[in-house]
Structure 1
Amino acid sequence: MRDIRIKICGLRTAESVAAACEAGAAYLGFNFFDRSPRSVTIDEARDLAVDVPIGVAKVALVVDASDDMLDQIVGRVPLDMLQLHGTESPDRVRDLRARHGLPVMKVVGVASSDDLEKLDLYSQVADQILVDAKPPKDAVLPGGNGLTFDWRLISARRWPVPWMLAGGLTPDNVAEAIALTGARQVDVASGVESAPGVKDAERMQAFVAAARA
């Protein structure tokens, strides 16, 4: 069994949190982007986070959030990491790390080799980077669209910080994605759902099993 760390993102109910933990997730993601079908309020996230077992990281996904919003999230939800999924600059990443005292994961969308330079840039300022599929220009959501990218683009690349692979991963393709990229961490949202925003316990179990097989 491979030692692959898995993040299950967009959890909205106590049942899905419990199922994700039981499946073996190392990170749980709570989505604060209100246009997403996976979004939660600050109060909902707080109630979900307090029951997460010790050792499982609680991650807040935000998209170009204001200081006020982040102050409220960090002040009321017990968190272990911030995930920045918007157009946050390297300076913004630095500022938020200093302001909140939490590790920051910066998401970088990849569609072609032209996007790889940003991975190098953000790996200098973030604690982790998440390599995701770049959304289409007309996409409503910055992630969670079920899209993959050409994994061969990053097959021989490494960065000075831990990194995570995302973008259209499912129980059916995650093993191939890991084999092609060498990823030691993977992130999934829509790939373990029975409907948008509705996590499926069996699919979560299958995803973790496939990633680690």
Structure 2
Amino acid sequence: MSVRIKICGITSIVDAIAAIGAGADALGFMFYEKSPRFLSNEKAKEIIRELPSHVAKVGVFVDANVDTVNRTVETAGLDTLQFHGVESPDFCAKFQQNTIKAFRVKNHESLEQLSDYNTKALLLDSYVKGIPGGTGEKFNWNLAIEAKRLGKPIILAGGLTPDNASDAVNQVAPFGLDVSSGVESTPGIKEKSKMISLITNAKSSSISEGLWN
């Protein structure tokens, strides 16, 4: 089975349908108000209720509290939660949905806390001070290869584009790729041709199984 692809920062039904048509396995919805891709619960609900059941609906949160997350899950109809702040292992374990913990990778020391988390998958993103994701910056993929030794599904993010998606899959062999700015024309607006190109290039390269079936 080919590598899974999550298109993150979906803000419209048009982009959602285009991403699915391009072959995306999961769509990400930002519930972090400082993000240019932020969606309200109601807007996310309007999009998600139109989506097919086989596509994972991932809510992305940054240091939200339990009640806020649960309200969003109920209103929007999420089936997977991605935590992109400094959420603790105990916090991530409070939810029934599949959970993904994201880590901003700066150096080898950034990997030390990964083993503390019993989430369904670990997402590795680039470290840019003050910006929790969606930066378009790439990090050292050798660190992602090292993280795979933990035996958890690894989702690679940060600076992924149609031009380097195949290299990412071939070098790291991750469970999945998480892409946002690399397939956009402007922040929050996806470009169909870029999504098709990236997904085609990535899925022609590797094998993966587990979280988004």
- Give 2:47's aligned residue: 48
Q: SS in structure 2 opposite 1:77? A: helix
Question: For the residues of structure 1 that align with 2:60 and 2:53, how far apart are their CA atoms?
Answer: 20
Partner of 1:58 in structure 2? 57
Q: Give me the TM-score of the superposition, normalised by structure 1.
A: 0.91
Provide the C-alpha distance between the structure 1 equivalents of 2:68 and 2:105, rounded to a whole number of angstroms. Answer: 27
Query: Which residue number in structure 1 is paired with residue 207 of structure 2?
Result: none
Partner residue in 2 for 1:111: 106
What does residue 142 of structure 2 align with? 152
Distance 2:144 2:75 in 1: 37
- Within the candidate set 189, 193, 196, 1:202 is matched to 193
Paired AA for residue 194 in structure 2 = R
Equivalent residue letter for 2:75: R
Please report how far the alpha carbon of residue 208 of structure 1 lies from its aligned counterpart in structure 2 after TM superposition: 0.2
SS in structure 1 at match of 2:178:
strand
Residue 187 (structure 1) aligned with residue 178 (structure 2) = yes
Distance 1:49 1:85 in 2: 21
The amino acid that maps onto 2:103 is V
- The aligned residue for residue 167 of structure 2 is 176
Amino acid at match of 1:170: T
1:18 to partner: Cα distance: 0.3
**Could you give the per-residue CA deviations for residues 44-103 of structure 1, whole angstroms, max 9, x where no partner exists?**
0000000111210000001001223112201111111010011101111122x2xxx111
Partners of 2:15 and 2:163 in 1: how far apart?
20
The Cα shift of 1:195 comes to 0.8
Q: Secondary structure at the match of 1:72?
A: helix
Structure number with greater CO (CA < 8 Å, separation at least 6) is 2
Q: CA RMSD in A?
A: 1.3
Q: 1:5-24 CA distances to partner (integer Å, 9 max, x unpaired)?
A: 10000000010000000011
Question: How many Å separate the matches in 2 of 1:158 and 1:167?
Answer: 20
Query: What is the Cα deviation at residue 117 of structure 1?
Result: 1.1
Q: CA deviation at 1:31?
A: 0.4
Q: Aligned runs of 1:1-213 on 2, under 5 Å?
A: 3-95=2-94, 97=95, 101-122=96-117, 125-136=118-129, 139=130, 141-156=131-146, 157-213=148-204
Query: Stretches of 4+ moved more than 3 A in 1?
Result: none
Name the amino acid aligned to 1:187.
D
User: Contact 2:124/2:144 (CA < 8 Å) preserved in 1?
Assistant: no
Count residues in correspondence: 203
Whole-angstrom CA distance in 1 between matches of 2:89 and 2:106? 20
Letter in 2 for 1:59: V
CA separation of 1:63 and 1:3: change in aligned 2, threshold 3 A: same
Q: Which amino acid in structure 1 is aligned with residue 135 of structure 2?
A: N
Equivalent pair of 2:9/2:29 in contact (CA under 8 Å): yes
Describe the SS at the equivalent of 1:132.
Answer: strand
Residue aligned with 2:102, SS: strand
